Amino acid sequence: MKCLIANRRKYSSGFTLVELVAVIIIVSIVGLGIGNFVSTSTQIYVDSAEREEVIGSSRFIVERLNREIRYALPNSIRVAAHQEAGITVSHCLEFTPIQWSTFYMDLPVVSADATDTIQGPEMIGTLVADSYDRDSADNHFVVVYPTDAEQVYSAITTDGTGRRVGLSSVSDAVDGLVTVVFDEDMIFEEESSVGRFYIVEQPISYCYRSATGQLTRHTNYGFLENQTADVIDGAITVSGNPSAEVVLMAEYMVNELSDDPTDTDSNQGDPFRIAEASLTRNAIVHTLLVFEQFGEKAIFNNEIHLRNAP
């Protein structure tokens, strides 16, 4: 009897095959549920990180554009398209940034004698972002009353038919007045309606090329009478102009380009559009930047109002 009881205990101490199968099935179900939960959570995190990366990189260029365009010279903003084999491949937004501005006391205009100096009160933090850096004066220009882009970008003339002249220096204020010295004697075509002049640097271009999805910033290429949107071999590129500087500002853009970015009826998807100044407001630059990365799309539709008037 004792032997029989011992054998029964021996055989009843393990699991049956049915029990093992049941446990395996239960553990598999629980593991599958945990795996799905972890996988879903991980994918949510990855998607959020990718979305944040797209938005973060996009916000930088939007903020940069906002800051620079707000301080653009009035009527210096223009857009152009470049075509290859009859297909529009790039658009460029160009403007001339203001370095400093004040009001002149007297200006040489038609019928006046040419001079290489004007005076005006010291103005800090009023019409531009910061005080003027006088050490960079010889790389800048003086512009008076530009009413269209042609007057900004045309070749310099000093005989009363121009509105831009090279700058030589800006003195420290004496009795509240600074003396601005041109690099040659000048007669301006017309006086400003409010007696204002601007000191500007060379133009800046932001160019989007559809083939690469890249937005680039072009500087130090000089004033071009005819705007170029050629971001490969044009005058705003290093290959076309060794003095030019090109910086990659953004990637993964997917804007579709119209053939004429100045046609407001057909360019609703273009990255840059301009609403010219009117009697009731300054010019407005519309930027529509569409980014797509990792299957995530971010669209930034923005209006930038120019702060200054001629």
Give the pLDDT of residue 218.
98
Q: Residue 11 pLDDT > 50, yes or no?
A: yes
pLDDT in tens, 81-138: 999 999 999 999 999 999 998 899 999 998 889 999 999 998 755 445 456 788 888 8
Given pLDDT bands bounded at 50, 70 and 90, which one contains residue 293? confident
Here the tokens at position 117 are: 């100096």
Give the pLDDT of residue 276.
82
Give the pLDDT of residue 191.
94
Q: Residue 176 pLDDT > 60, yes or no?
A: yes
Q: How many CB atoms lie within 10 A of CB 291?
A: 22
Q: What is the mean pLDDT of residues 279-289?
A: 84
pLDDT in tens, 178-200: 999 999 999 999 999 899 999 99
- Is the domain spanning 98-200 CATH 1.10.150? The answer is no
Here the tokens at position 16 are: 């049956």
Across all residues in the chain, what is the average pLDDT?
86
- Reported pTM: 0.82
Q: Note every long-range contact of 48-52, with CB atoms under 8 Å and residues 24 or more positions apart, other chains counting.
A: 50/293, 50/294, 50/295, 50/296, 51/296, 51/298
Q: Residue 277 pLDDT > 80, yes or no?
A: no
Measured between alpha carbons, how far is 206 from 227 in angstroms, rounded to an integer?
12
Give the pLDDT of residue 36.
76
Given pLDDT bands bounded at 50, 70 and 90, which one contains residue 161? very high
Give the pLDDT of residue 305.
86
pLDDT in tens, 249-262: 998 899 999 999 99
Q: How many CB atoms lie within 10 A of CB 292?
A: 14
Kindly state the percentage of the chain with pLDDT values over 70. 87
- The residue extents of the domains of the chain are 50-87+205-305, 98-200
Q: What is the mean pLDDT of residues 146-161?
A: 94
pLDDT in tens, 198-236: 999 999 999 999 999 999 999 999 999 999 999 999 999
Q: What is the mean pLDDT of residues 54-68?
A: 80
The residue among 214, 233, 234 whose CA lies nearest residue 224 is 234
Q: Residue 7 pLDDT > 80, yes or no?
A: no
Which range has the worst mean pLDDT, 67-71, 86-90, 140-144, 211-215?
Answer: 67-71
Pairing of strands 296-305, 78-84: unpaired
Which range has the worst mean pLDDT, 46-55, 58-67, 188-197?
Answer: 46-55
Tell me how far CA of residue 44 lies from CA of 30, 198, 275, in angstroms: 21, 52, 41
Helix runs in the chain, H state only? 2-11, 17-70, 149-153
Kindly state the percentage of the chain with pLDDT values over 90. 55
Which range has the worst mean pLDDT, 28-32, 52-56, 114-118?
Answer: 52-56
